Amino acid sequence: MGMLEAVLMTIATAATPLLIAAVGELVSERAGVLNLGVEGMMVMGAVTGFGVALTTGSPWLGIFAAIAVGALFSLLFAFLTLTLVTNQVATGLALTLLGLGLSGMLGESFVGLPGVKLTNIDIPFLSDIPLIGRLIFGQDPVFYLSILLTAGVAWFLFRSRVGLTLRSVGDNHGSAHALGINVILIRYLAVMFGGACAGLAGAYLSLVYTPQWVENMTAGRGWIALALVVFASWRPWRVLAGAYLFGAVTIGQLHAQALGIGVPSQLLSSLPYLATVVVLVLISRNRRMTMVNTPASLGRPFVPDR
């Protein structure tokens, strides 16, 4: 029972950064903007969160700083793609490369230093319930925030007037502009929300998942978050299910290595990324579902005076 509880808790911890980053990117893509810089924003959030928490001794200040840095990085992306109308794919890739390089430089002095861990919440009596106690009532605050974030985004997109406006911008920015909607402003806000979520996801890695700084510690999780959005057909609750599925694959391969299963460790370590490829291939076969749910203006530039 204790072993099962530990496995389930590690799955939840592994899934949380994927969920936060993917939900943020989902909002951005629902507004019609494809930001491939999630990996770069996550790693910048990780190094910023770790550095600020280490300097101040407060993990919460580290989290807020990471959110701010993620939003600032996304603001750079938004300025280039929405104001200067650069190519979204190329700009997103450049943002990822910038984040990886800059984080390595900024975090060089942090390597090997013990981090400041964000402590878990312990609710008396409830957290002592066998199996589900620590899993539901003994997690860290960001875990609960990720669930609330998913529910809030689901309500916002499909139950609020502003969410409907955002989706209309992503589906047909020309018609939205003709109706008097400020397409550029909405896309700016959506992209910054996605960047803030990516920064928070990065801080989670360096303050909760593994409270330390290691160069490139995101290890491709930003790309998995991008794949999760497609896997979920741009639906928030499906993103949650997909994040926990990928979290289970990640933790499963770690336990398989610990048990000494006769499979090369390199192959086991690649399982989360192989699962990403397999899922994308399976989804691409159902073209009807993909076409119905994909925002029609995704990745398309918008210039108001044209």
The separation between CA 170 and the C-alpha centre of its own chain, rounded to angstroms, equals: 20
Could you report how far apart the first and last alpha carbons of the chain are, in Å?
63
The separation between CA 68 and the C-alpha centre of its own chain, rounded to angstroms, equals: 15
* Alpha carbon distance 76, 71 (integer Å): 9
Look at residue 287 in the predicted model and tell me its pLDDT. 67
* Alpha carbon distance 205, 59 (integer Å): 12
DSSP 126: G
Q: Which of 161, 165, 187 is nearest to 304 (CA)?
A: 187
Look at residue 50 in the predicted model and tell me its pLDDT. 96
Look at residue 290 in the predicted model and tell me its pLDDT. 63
- The number of beta carbons lying within 10 Å of the beta carbon of residue 57 is 10
Q: Which of 197, 173, 200 is nearest to 187 (CA)?
A: 173
Look at residue 281 in the predicted model and tell me its pLDDT. 72
Q: How far is CA 159 from CA 34, 166, 182, 251, 306, in A?
A: 23, 12, 20, 35, 32
Q: Are 239 and 150 in contact (CB under 8 A)?
A: yes
Q: Using DSSP, how many helices (H) and how many strands (E) does the chain show?
A: 14, 0
Using DSSP, state whether 201 is helix, strand or coil: helix
Look at residue 258 in the predicted model and tell me its pLDDT. 65
DSSP 298: T
Look at residue 259 in the predicted model and tell me its pLDDT. 64
> Tens-of-pLDDT digits for all 306 residues of the chain?
567 777 888 889 999 999 999 999 999 999 999 999 999 999 999 999 999 999 999 999 999 999 999 999 999 999 999 999 999 999 999 999 999 999 999 999 999 898 899 988 887 777 777 777 777 888 899 999 999 999 999 999 999 999 999 999 999 999 999 999 999 999 999 999 999 999 999 999 999 999 999 999 998 899 999 989 988 889 999 999 989 988 888 787 776 666 666 666 666 667 777 777 777 677 666 666 666 678 999 999 998 875
Q: Are 16 and 224 in contact (CB under 8 A)?
A: no
Look at residue 263 in the predicted model and tell me its pLDDT. 65
Which helix or strand (DSSP H or E) is residue 102 part of?
A: helix 88-106
Q: Are 18 and 201 in contact (CB under 8 A)?
A: yes
CATH code at 2-293: 1.10.3470
Q: Which of 40, 295, 44, 38 is nearest to 186 (CA)?
A: 295
- pTM as predicted: 0.92
Look at residue 151 in the predicted model and tell me its pLDDT. 97
